[in-house]
Amino acid sequence: MKLSQLLKPWMHHIKSDCIVTGLENDSRRIQPGDLFVAYAGAVADGRLFINKAVSAGAVAIAYDPSDFPKDCILPESIPCIPVPELATQLAAIAKQFYDDPGRFLTVTGVTGTNGKTTIAFQLAQAHHLMGQGAAYIGTIGQGNVDKLQLLDNTTPDALCLQKLLHQYKNQGIKQVCMEVSSHALAQHRVDTIEFKQAIFTNLTLDHLDYHLNMQNYAAAKAILFARESLQWAIINQDDPYQRIMADAVKPHVTKLTYGIHQNSDVKVVDWSMDIKGSEIEVRSPWGQHQLRINALGQFNIYNSLAIFSSLLASDYAPTQVVEVMTQLKAAPGRMEIISNAPYVLVDYAHTPDALENALLTLNQLKKGRLWVVFGCGGDRDKSKRPVMGSVASKLADQIIITSDNPRTEDPQIIVNEIAQGIPKSSNVIQLVDREEAIAYALNEADENDIILIAGKGHEAYQQIGSVKHAFSDQDVVKKLIQK
């Protein structure tokens, strides 16, 4: 594509032109023929790497002129185009470059504090089982659910998103199910994605280091539900913040609510659970349904209701949807059973609400003691640390506080802040070394006990400082059990 065509609104005083064969915002990934888009990011300022991009073969530069670094010199050998507020324009530029691939796809966005991964992952599975090519984008990667490729963020940046949609279109994929984080909505990463369905899970304490308060957090989530492109808005009627999402929905969009307690469109009439899964009786505008799901806990009932509602709204036959629900596999690291006698589960629960839900569920199933091994991430919302300690003290019999991803913080300080929420009388042990903490639980637990290892879920690393070290809760458990 010609540079003058791609950046037409900003090319008024630029006379030179060239052919652009790719878009890139990371100088380390520049290929000859790329347009390098340079702006200040959350971690680094891309404008400081312009010369590196030119050396790697960039044929043009689009840059944000605001607060331009004094020590950055623009090259004279290639076109350099100033684009005010480039970060917010990026989605539209990428959409044009890739010829709007989203118009060939049905994109469903899932937002909320907890449940996004399970819903988006299993929804993509379901579409695949129904015979439609489907892709997932989110916390645990992107692509076909059977062979996911890792991503840096829950919701990729605007360039990466449009590139992925372009790839999916070329692969014949029809359905895309993606997690939409509040950061992505606030930072305009998904501005040009034409979502057909939006799903709201819940809103609980998280990311207040970024949003500052729950009102801002809710407002960021509601951006997804104000989209003109939506056909369906699928909302958890039981969540206190559901009204904010519902009020954002345009008049032409069909609202479909789901829940257990409130009177909703898709409502649980009755449910029961054992260690292998749950039986759910559901009433909906499509009739009465008996569902069997391979998942534990009330929170997974909500996740399944969201998936069920989305599939019904997608015009699949209800009988077909009921059958497919029984075949869905859990997302990696989501209440994943690693061993029994004692039962050891790995879960991504890293918020107070998610930890509470997991522990409440396991309390209903335990025959012995319930252990929890967990920590909190460094350089993230500190307000939730003592709250998670308090949750653990109320619902677990044995608590081991350990390190999560400490990043640049001292892990012992994080452990101490979690411990502030735990009464002195609780059975609590502090072991900063995560493998040592897991080993202690395995050695001390009885056959009838349950051990929940929470916080990291699917992650195959532990970030200490800026380095990600190989570490998997699942692999550690398997290794220790074999000893």
151-168 residue pLDDT tens: 877 778 999 999 999 999
Same domain flag for 10 and 72: yes
Same domain flag for 272 and 132: yes
- Average pLDDT across the chain, whole number: 94
Same domain flag for 258 and 204: yes
Same domain flag for 179 and 309: yes
Nearest-5° Cα angle at 398, 394 to 401: 90
In a domain, 138, yes or no: yes
In a domain, 303, yes or no: yes
Same domain flag for 92 and 127: no
Is 154 a known ligand-binding residue? Answer: yes
Is 412 a known ligand-binding residue? Answer: no
Is 155 a known ligand-binding residue? Answer: yes
Q: What is the pLDDT of residue 217?
A: 81
Is 113 a known ligand-binding residue? Answer: yes
In a domain, 150, yes or no: yes
Same domain flag for 145 and 84: no
Instruction: Tell me the pLDDT band of 253, cut-offs 50, 70 and 90.
Output: very high
Q: What is the pLDDT of residue 213?
A: 75
Whether residue 211 has pLDDT greater than 50 = no
Is 264 a known ligand-binding residue? Answer: no
pLDDT in tens, 86-96: 999 999 999 99
CATH code, domain carrying 422: 3.90.190.20
In a domain, 200, yes or no: yes
In a domain, 23, yes or no: yes
Is 366 a known ligand-binding residue? Answer: no
Q: What is the pLDDT of residue 206?
A: 56
Same domain flag for 457 and 319: no
Is 405 a known ligand-binding residue? Answer: yes
In a domain, 330, yes or no: no
Instruction: Tell me the pLDDT band of 58, cut-offs 50, 70 and 90.
Output: very high
pLDDT in tens, 346-399: 999 999 999 999 999 999 999 999 999 999 999 998 999 999 999 999 999 999
The two structure tokens encoding residue 61: 């530069």
In a domain, 260, yes or no: yes
Where a domain ends, among 275, 296, 325?
325
Is 421 a known ligand-binding residue? Answer: no
Is 117 a known ligand-binding residue? Answer: yes
Is 118 a known ligand-binding residue? Answer: yes
Is 111 a known ligand-binding residue? Answer: no
Is 300 a known ligand-binding residue? Answer: no
Is 326 a known ligand-binding residue? Answer: no
Give the number of domains in the chain.
3
Same domain flag for 231 and 299: yes
Is 27 a known ligand-binding residue? Answer: yes
Same domain flag for 12 and 133: no
CATH code, domain carrying 135: 3.40.1190.10
Where a domain ends, among 305, 325, 345?
325
Same domain flag for 87 and 145: no
Is 114 a known ligand-binding residue? Answer: yes
Same domain flag for 257 and 195: yes
pLDDT in tens, 461-483: 999 999 999 999 999 999 999 87
pLDDT in tens, 421-432: 999 888 999 999
Domain that holds residue 92: 3-97
Same domain flag for 87 and 128: no
In a domain, 367, yes or no: yes
Where a domain ends, among 79, 97, 115?
97
